[in-house]
Structures are given as C-alpha cells and as structure tokens.
A and B are shown apart, each in its own frame.
Chain A
Amino acid sequence: NAGVTQTPKFRILKIGQSMTLQCTQDMNHNYMYWYRQDPGMGLKLIYYSVGAGITDKGEVPNGYNVSRSTTEDFPLRLELAAPSQTSVYFCASTVTRGGAAEQYFGPGTRLTVT
C-alpha cells in the first residue's frame, strides 16, 4: 500500500489563480480530511468527508471547495488564491481501531501565494 499520497509537493501561485490539490489513499478508508498548517502552528481542519458523496466543513473552510466522487480521492480546490492561503496542506485518512479513528497523514503540499 502507498498509503496517503498528495500532489504536487510544492506550488507557487499568483494572487487570483486557482488550483486543485490532489489526495489519494489506497487503504479503502471511508474518512478523509484536509488540514492546513501555518508556520509554527498546529493543524486546522478545512473539510472532511465520511464517504463518497458526503463532505462537511471544518474550522477554516472559506476559500476552499472539496468533492468526493470515489472512496480513494479527495481533491481540494482553491479558487481565487490569496496570500492568506500560503500554508502547508495535509490530507489524512482514518482507520478505526477499538472505536477510535486514528488519522494518518500524507506528505503534504507546500503552497505559496504571491
């Protein structure tokens, strides 16, 4: 299993441009998540999905959109990029053990908006 994979690893966007961050997992996990991590800070939840066709907002959803058409893929769309969206973006998926949902993270995408 490759686990959780993300593309691209790095990206520089100009203000107002759009892009899609890709996330794929091959573990057949139902739950998937997008977080952002600003420098020196903890991660903040942007959106999550409990299964194909179902998505929900997290703590910081403004400026982002998601879709979940398959179990494996959970892309994050940035429309009209702003400097405040400069961050490292982590995708995660969850395996349930003993009633708790352990989250496993992808390698991250470092995004700079200038």
Chain B
Amino acid sequence: GENVEQHPSTLSVQEGDSAVIKCTYSDSASNYFPWYKQELGKRPQLIIDIRSNVGEKKDQRIAVTLNKTAKHFSLHITETQPEDSAVYFCAASEGGGADGLTFGKGTHLIIQP
C-alpha cells in the first residue's frame, strides 16, 4: 500500500518568513495530493490540493509543488502570520481521493512573533 513520509515534524519560523513542508510517497499510481490544516482539538480542513497532471498550484499565500518523477510534493506558505500556527498534514491517494487518503504524520508549524 501507499506510504507517505512528511518532514519536518516541527517547524518554527519568524512571522513574515516563508515555511516549506515536504512529503514523499511510495506508490507511483497515486494521483491526488491534498494538504490539511488542523488546529488543536479541531477537525482537519483542506487548504489546497494538487492532481498528478499539474506541477504547481497556488492560492494566495499558499502553494503546492509536485515532482512525480521523484515522488515528492511540498507545501509553501509565504508571509507567515500567527494564524498559520497549526499542524499540517499531507496525504496521497491512488483513486483521486475516492478510495480514501494515506496521511503523513504531520508537521507542527510554529510562527514566532
């Protein structure tokens, strides 16, 4: 089955700086890669996703890049703000997400004022 590795487990950045979280996946058939943000005690919320036919996708301060050859994808957050502090999870799916997601273990992003 699919295996998703996520790094780093904790990331501390100064407010206003950029943050990058990286994930690798094992199943070359995976074709859908979402990113979720989870605040303490809350449900995961989808923040951005990318399909395997696209190399990059951007939504305001958030971008995701995908390298299918190397089987890795990354989340980029620019101009970080205090409200960006949370745990971020990457995930992968072979069936476009329909058959469920395999998640990484998460990155705790801390924005230092």
Contact = CB atoms under 8 A, between A and B. Distances in A.
B29 interface: no
Given A40-B106, A108-B43, A48 B100 contact: yes
Given A105-B43, A105-B44, A99 B51 contact: yes
Given A94-B97, A105-B44, A42 B49 contact: no
A59 B98 contact: no
Contacts of B32: 100-101
A31 B49 CA distance: 18
Q: Could you tell me the dominant secondary structure of chain A's interface residues?
A: strand
A59 to B, nearest CB: 7
Interface residues of B, number: 27
A45 interface: yes
A104 interface: yes
Interface string B81-113: 000000001010101111111111110000000
B98 A101 contact: yes
Interface in B30-47: 32, 34, 42-46
A98 B52 CA distance: 12
B103 A96 contact: no
A44 B103 contact: yes
Given A43-B44, A45-B101, A108-B43, A101 B106 contact: no
Interface of A: 31, 33, 40-45, 48, 50, 56, 58-59, 90, 94, 96, 98-108
Interface of B: 1, 4, 6, 32, 34, 42-46, 49, 51, 89, 91, 93, 95-106
